[in-house]
Structure 1
Amino acid sequence: MEKALVIGASGGIGQALVAELAQRYDVTALSRRADGLDVTDEASVAATLGALEEPFARIIVATGALEIDGHQPERTIKALEPEAMMAQFRLNTLGPALVLKHVWRLIPRKSPSVVAVLSARVGSIGDNKIGGWVSYRTAKAGVNQVVHTAAIELARTHKQACLIALHPGTVATPFTQKYLGRYPSVPPQEAAANLAGVLDARRPEDTGQFYDWANTQVPW
């Protein structure tokens, strides 16, 4: 049985992804809550991922947060708080970047694989029509750039790999509880099934792109 790795497995989407992938893969689930994995701490990332040996056909980075330390998304740049913005960058941009740095050796060189980093449509610069949410948008735009850049490098040595950014849609979890009335949402199990389908559809030529839960490419 092929192996899958889910990082951020204690969150609502992460738990659902573990359950969905377990139907076809031998899943390794890692999280801060269960394993002490702090994606903003490189020593923690290096030690946790360094303990793994076998390659994974599926790797999903499902970490992140919309609100950190009680700071809600800003309605306007006039409400921006420097520390709140840096906290968003540390968790939503730096965290996945560190994971990609240290998970590299676990991506197979001679067999197909898909690596996905959960992002958000609000991180799309081209799709931004209403403004607001400056810190979260910026952090997600940053992680999109990390994914796109890393995918270019990965393609040089891992010809059958595909690395993408992935928008899960609005999922009914504690992460989005305050915002569920504003946008259509789906339960985590449905979201996980949608995302698994997107991963299954990917090919090496799709690497470096940004997809949503409906398998539609999202503009950068």
Structure 2
Amino acid sequence: MRALLPLLLLSTAAAQVPATVTGIPTVTDGDTLQIRGVKVRLYGIDAPESSQTCTRAGKTYGCGREAAFALADLVRNKTVTCTRKDVDRYGRLVGVCSVGGTEVNRWLVQQGWALPYLQYGGGIYNGAAGQAKSAGKGLYAGTFQNPWDYRKNPASPPTAGTVRTSTVPPVPAITGVTYSNCAVVLAAGKAPLLRGQPGYAPKLDRDGDGVACE
């Protein structure tokens, strides 16, 4: 029964995620939006993390921030519609989004600000990536590390999230309850964890917004 608990939790989360969501979004990072309280992870693509840096013309720059800003410029004050393809382990809608007749996922790859995430259906964007590479757009204007490799590297600094106009000072995790990762939090039925709640830890809060395992 214990082994089935994570699957049951994921099934429950999936049932609560809408098939489509429409509205004016806010941008979390280069491949994540939020629309009317629904977090949307763009299907089939992977953008650099918000703390990630790359090189261009021999200089280091914040490619994660530039990817997020490119997405923000595309959708700013516009109505976006996202259609669900899946639900990830954090309970987010994984979908294909469009704005004004433009598919957001494909556009980010065409502009070189995201890569096809082959492990999760991204092969459909290989052609768009080839165009961006040939034109030297976005990440292809210099050198970069694949976002999935960056996340695996323990030497990579923790992602800080897209730059915000105000920040909330960090609150230390309450002692007595600890979780090794978000899968354990989900299995315990405690996700999401808010900053200050028992078990919250910065390592579980990927984008530093005070909500862990969202």
The answer to whether the superposition gives a TM-score over 0.5 is no
- Between structure 1 and structure 2, the one with the greater Rg is 2
Q: Which has the higher strand share?
A: 2
